Each structure stands twice: as structure tokens, then as C-alpha cells.
Amino acid sequence: MTDQELIAPELPEQKDPAISGLETGWYKVANSEAIASKQAIQINDFPTQIVVWRGEDSVLRGLDLYCKHMGASLACGEVDENSIRCPFHAWRWAGDGQCDQIPYAKKIPTKAVTRSWEVSEDDGMVYVWFDKDQKPADPDGKKFN
């Protein structure tokens, strides 16, 4: 690492997925075995950075990586039941993008919603659906490895 990289690093940002130019379809992001039960991983090789985790029910879910509250990486958080809990303020996010628990709040703000990504598993591989216009996933859509 050069001195310049050390003292003037580029800071992360949640990338705008719409500018990726990728065509609609399922994109392979990991092997199934890379995500054990109640584990979360960060995916960078996708139009934006996302967190994908396996809930208690073994189902995979995906959200934008950075928490909509104060910006921490949800991949550093913990899977709780079928949701993921942010390491910074413990806000808990469900797979549909809704914040479903804030331990220290009386009421969850209506704006506490993040972007959800549809995840599927097939033949030992994990795919995430991408469509630049955010159309719902087509189970028979084209797969990209």
C-alpha cells in the first residue's frame, strides 16, 4: 500500500445499480456453501454492494449493504431469526427491506426502509435478480455465471 492510499483512501458509497448497464437476469454471486446457516456475506461483484444472509429457516435474503440509518455495513452484523441486525445501532432489517425492530425506540420510523434484492439458490449456487427498472424477479429468467 502506498502512503497516498494509506492517508487518502477512497471512501465507500452505496453504488447506484441503475448505471451498471447490466441486462436483466439472475447473477451468480456466491456458492451456496459459502453462506452457512445464520451467516451473512458481503457481495461486491454486483451492480451495487449487497449483504446476503441465510436465516434460521435456511432461506437466503439480500439487502443493500449499508444501513439506511447511519451507514454501517450490515454484513458486519448478526443474523437474528430471519432478519439481519446492524452492528452500529442494532436496527434489525427483514428480507423485504422493512426495519422490523429498533431496541431503543418506541416506534419504527415509516421511512426506515431499505432496498431488498431477490435471492435464489440453484444447484449449489446463489443468484441475485437484477433488473434496472426494478421489475419483479422471473423464476425462469436468464442466468449469468
**Cβ at position 101, least distance to other proteins in Å:** 11
User: Which of 77/95 has CB closer to other proteins?
Assistant: 77
| Spatial CB neighbours of 108, under 8 Å, sequence gap ≥ 6 | 99, 100, 101, 102
The answer to whether residue 6 forms part of the interface with other proteins (CB under 8 A) is yes
The answer to whether residue 8 forms part of the interface with other proteins (CB under 8 A) is yes
Using the rule CB under 8 A, which residue among 27, 46, 66, 127 binds other proteins?
Answer: 66
**Cβ at position 125, least distance to other proteins in Å:** 27
The answer to whether residue 37 forms part of the interface with other proteins (CB under 8 A) is no
Sort strands 143-144 and 25-31 into parallel, antiparallel or unpaired.
parallel
DSSP state of 131: -
**Do you know the residue count of the chain?**
145
The answer to whether residue 12 forms part of the interface with other proteins (CB under 8 A) is yes
On whether the CB atoms of residues 119 and 126 are closer than 8 A, the answer is yes
**Cβ at position 136, least distance to other proteins in Å:** 25
Residue 48: count other Cβ atoms within 10 Å of its Cβ: 20
